[in-house]
Chain A
């Protein structure tokens, strides 16, 4: 039997609260029925629905069909088309394919041709379609005159802007500043250079809290040139991360995850991942050896590693700073890492967290260089040098001396994310004129004289470049919904040219491609989603200086240290108004709708803080009161914090969700010394970690053998013992139904590849019109996600192991839900699908009660009642919108199955393996989910179901699931 896994500290301690959650699937139901107030509402609703019966007797509403006056060539109504585009995030670009249904983008997927995506997409790309249709996005040009908000127009703005620019051009642009969001766009760089020509004294500042500025600074110190690293994780066999969230909050997260999974699948020489981090991330959860380490000890650990490597004969800069005494575990970690690094050499890579100071990045580079990893697992790409660049401190100085005449803020939200660097957001007001182009009328817009609506990347032309120089055109899928313009269009206006975004991109491309068939090359670039030629290649780098060595040091260790990262869902707050992301359970804490202060069990005990207790946190320059969340795996005396919450001007969804940590922004604020005080009051923590728990205790009472839900094997011998694969399949007392369909659908989920990022959850939500229910409903266990990712802990609470297990409907061949439905609303298809028929469902919820996997979701309300007209455009027309009172669950994306089958039959060919891909499997960056036809023994899924690691969960219950799991692979170093 494998090791014991547990979901939360509550389960580990077997608290009564946890027992109640297991015993009562919908824990808050009973109180509600007997609450007289809600009962009255219930009767009212009954009355209303009787009234509706009379209405229903009338004829269907008259419907009109509005065909095109002239249908464009190749356009077939009701047949979705895919277009390639790209999204910029973390200073990098991700190639995407967007599905357009009758002119509306409804689903985003990764572009298989794009090297950063390879078909996978992260959760922000998946959720971007909802951002496009957000009714709270800014829709008009707004002018603020003497504090009064006045709705204006583009024409009025243009006139005033021209006047201001005319005055500026006389002085060569003295006092003209641009604060841009750091989008890596060649067109923008071209216009930036032009602007510098026209206004030689104008200054340009790029600021994006997600761009790794400290890394760039560190690499400049170490190499003497401006470069960024570009990882190739698929070539790595030993990867070490010092507080770097490689798989989620990283410019190359998707490619890293893909490379990691590839490395793990190489069973001859599987990748081994070491992670030292203060607060658990999904990267740490994937590690073979994870060390929970206080943030201010990370640099010491890095220095100790450098010393160990130098002793092993590697060429490292000297003199290395003396390291403080390491603890026993730290020593063991460093020894194990050093040993593996020395033997792996060029197939090793060391990554340093974005929040660490520049000197750490410089040392990380020196180690990679000494290992010979540069050019193999990591290469360094030049950053474009654009004239007129300034920095945030310079802008602050100019603002404070009232030398800024015109400040153009392009995107971003500096009032929120750069408040500290600017000396308080109020300093922005010191600009004589502040013009802001933004998606939302947010905190920065409220300080601006002019707010201009920005075009979303799905509705305006643009271009982006990946870190390693792959050029993609950002192709709009729809005309701007609210008359927004792109940042490049505004820059063109500043240049007095007023070109459209399309013309600007064409001009850039013409300059890049030269005369060689520019039109054809452009069309191919649009179609493929990337240009066949790269704009940049790796540069040779060497160690240029060692001055930074002195900056490596250790801070005061006795105090509490805070480790601040951008949130893993709303990031720096830019996605705060996206309900899909707000409701997505955070990978590790499973928190939804808000943030909390994370601390380890022993730290909580030492400080006398309870789980969920509101605590007052203060640091130099600010304080906040937020709930504590006791999380296994947080380093001692460490406080885990995230930014992006508690926004005041995000929109109807994001306003007031969570707690703001003003002045503690993600970048420089990583290593803050803080003090903490409990208040004794209970805070609001909405975590799904114990929801839908599978009742193991009950099974033991029945005397059954219970297999672990998560099983793991060692990489040396990736085979499950036969007793772990045994199923209970007693003869049934009734005649079993044969599965006669041509196709027999099945799925395999590889736990060795799943990193728990949550992209599948959002993809499923987008594909299947899954409602968002809000914090109050989630607290009652009523979240509607068809796929949930169970996060399991194992081992001791201070140093837990982690495992992720995505659980969706298992499409049991002997489905317990079907046997208890009184109205046959859930039945089996001949292709082995467990079908849910919404029209038959009367809402008894017996099926959910009887489902051992707890994957069925009930519509307690009509969650789509108040959906705005514009948000309705995001619905997938191929999937029914479910009403109140019906059950729903994973369908294996039956709409895709049927579309694939019909297309194959129409073509007169058999359905090829891989032609039908459910939304979850499609987006998965690690390809952890395989889906296909089990009746075809040559299909990928049929082969994987025969894998020596394959097992079904709860097969002891004779459910015969169609979903099998491949056991998690661990590859710890020998001594551990």
Chain B
């Protein structure tokens, strides 16, 4: 046995003092846990209610709620791609070349259209970079926009309504019934199930063979 090697793995005497610190740990430990859980789950941490000011005061309440635009008129890649795609300036100008063509609120849009530089929209729903969410996979299965984004048709300024936490995602992946509807009605903001929503959802689920995975690599890779 070579002594110096063995001594490396033996705790030195000063570590005995650490025992006294154990008491302090017993007191502080629960406090730490309460603070950790409390702050971790608070809406402030999860950003529920986050409603940043946008460079253009675009009102979903006006466009969707009053005028009845379908979500997919602007977010037109939502059924085919992972990202729902913020509309290009061209989409805005399809109408606003004529309607309210001189409104000062639309200055940033007209500027972007003239220069070709993008409008810097502020991201509201921000998932961590290690999460790979796919809009198309959800929308084509019949998960309504409302389920995650809330009643956008009533929002003057878009805000985050769901915590977008992993627990929240898994709730639905484990029991998707509550959030399923016929895929052609995903953008309907005020759709209600014709019968008991859970039973209806369960039937849809069976019909369409929806088996959301809870494997890690479904979302993280």
> Which A positions have Cβ atoms within 8 angstroms of B?
34, 57, 59-60, 62-71, 76-79, 741-742, 827, 829-831, 833, 835, 837-839, 878-880, 891, 894-895, 898, 902, 905-906
Contact = CB atoms under 8 A, between A and B. Distances in A.
A879 B47 CA distance: 25
Query: 4 tightest A-B contacts by CB?
Result: A829-B215, A66-B118, A71-B88, A63-B123
Nearest to B117: A69
Nearest to A829: B215
A693 B49 CA distance: 54
A212 to B, nearest CB: 44
Given A60-B126, A905-B140, A76 B221 contact: no
A77 B83 contact: yes
Given A76-B77, A902-B134, A902-B137, A70 B221 contact: no
A297 to B, nearest CB: 53
B62 to A, nearest CB: 20
Interface residues of B, number: 44
A906 B8 CA distance: 59
A60 B47 contact: yes
Contacts of A69: 88-90, 112-113, 115-118
10 contacts: A64-B121, A65-B123, A67-B88, A68-B118, A69-B117, A69-B118, A70-B88, A827-B216, A835-B216, A906-B136
Interface string B20-36: 00000000000000000
A79 B88 contact: no
Given A77-B85, A902-B137, A906-B137, A66 B217 contact: no
Given A898-B132, A905-B140, A64 B122 contact: yes
Nearest to B44: A59
A898 to B, nearest CB: 7
Given A34-B8, A902-B137, A905-B140, A65 B121 contact: yes
Contacts of B39: 57
B52 to A, nearest CB: 7
Interface string B56-94: 000000000000000000000101111101111110000
A895 B86 contact: no
Nearest to B218: A898
Per DSSP, chain A at the interface is loop
B123 A898 contact: no
B171 interface: no
B162 to A, nearest CB: 15
B82 A78 contact: yes
A72 to B, nearest CB: 9
Nearest to A71: B88
B129 interface: yes
B130 interface: yes
A69 to B, nearest CB: 4
A833 B216 CA distance: 10
B119 interface: yes
Given A68-B118, A835-B216, A902-B134, 15 more contacts: A66-B118, A66-B119, A67-B85, A67-B121, A69-B89, A69-B90, A76-B77, A78-B85, A829-B215, A835-B217, A837-B216, A839-B220, A898-B221, A905-B137, A906-B137
A742 B213 CA distance: 11
B104 interface: no
B132 A70 contact: no
A71 B81 CA distance: 15
Contacts of B211: 742
A839 B132 CA distance: 14
B120 interface: yes
Contacts of B119: 66-67
B82, B90, B115 interface centre (most CB from chain A within 10 Å): B82
Given A68-B88, A902-B134, A829 B81 contact: no
Interface in B147-205: none
Contacts of B218: 898
Contacts of B121: 64-67
B181 to A, nearest CB: 17
Contacts of A67: 85-89, 118-119, 121
A59 B112 CA distance: 29
Contacts of B118: 66-69
Contact of A77 (B81, B136, B140): B81
Contacts of B81: 76-79
B1 to A, nearest CB: 17
A60 B44 CA distance: 11
Interface of B: 8, 39, 47, 52, 77, 79-83, 85-90, 112-113, 115-123, 126, 129-130, 132, 134, 136-137, 140-141, 211, 213, 215-218, 220-221
A65 to B, nearest CB: 5
Contacts of A905: 137, 140-141
Contacts of B85: 67, 76-78
A902 B136 contact: yes
A333 B142 CA distance: 69
A69 B213 CA distance: 37
Contacts of B80: 76, 79, 906
A741 B86 CA distance: 34
A880 B136 contact: no
A503 B203 CA distance: 60
B120 A64 contact: yes
A66 B89 contact: no
A59 B42 CA distance: 13
Nearest to A826: B216
B221 A66 contact: no
A79 B76 CA distance: 13
Nearest to B116: A69
A71 B90 contact: yes
Contact of A894 (B86, B120, B136, B217): B217
A63 B39 CA distance: 23
Contacts of B87: 67
Contacts of B83: 77-78
B77 A77 contact: yes
B217 A829 contact: yes
A77 B87 CA distance: 10
A838 B131 CA distance: 12
Contacts of A833: 215, 217
A757 B173 CA distance: 43
Contacts of B213: 741, 829-830
B217 A62 contact: no
Contacts of A71: 88, 90
Nearest to B39: A57
A76 B135 CA distance: 13
B126 A63 contact: yes
Nearest to A897: B217
A67 B116 CA distance: 10
Contacts of A741: 213
A902 to B, nearest CB: 5
Contacts of B112: 69
A79 B80 CA distance: 9
Contacts of B134: 898, 902
B221 A894 contact: yes
A879 B123 contact: no
Nearest to A893: B221
A837 B120 CA distance: 33
B169 to A, nearest CB: 14
Contact of B122 (A34, A63, A79, A839): A63
B113 A891 contact: no
A62 B220 contact: no
A741 B214 CA distance: 11
A44 to B, nearest CB: 21
A891 B137 contact: no
Contacts of A827: 216
A78 B133 CA distance: 12
Nearest to A30: B8
Contacts of A830: 213, 215
Contacts of B141: 905
Nearest to A830: B215
A65 B129 contact: no
A16 B134 CA distance: 53
Nearest to B127: A60
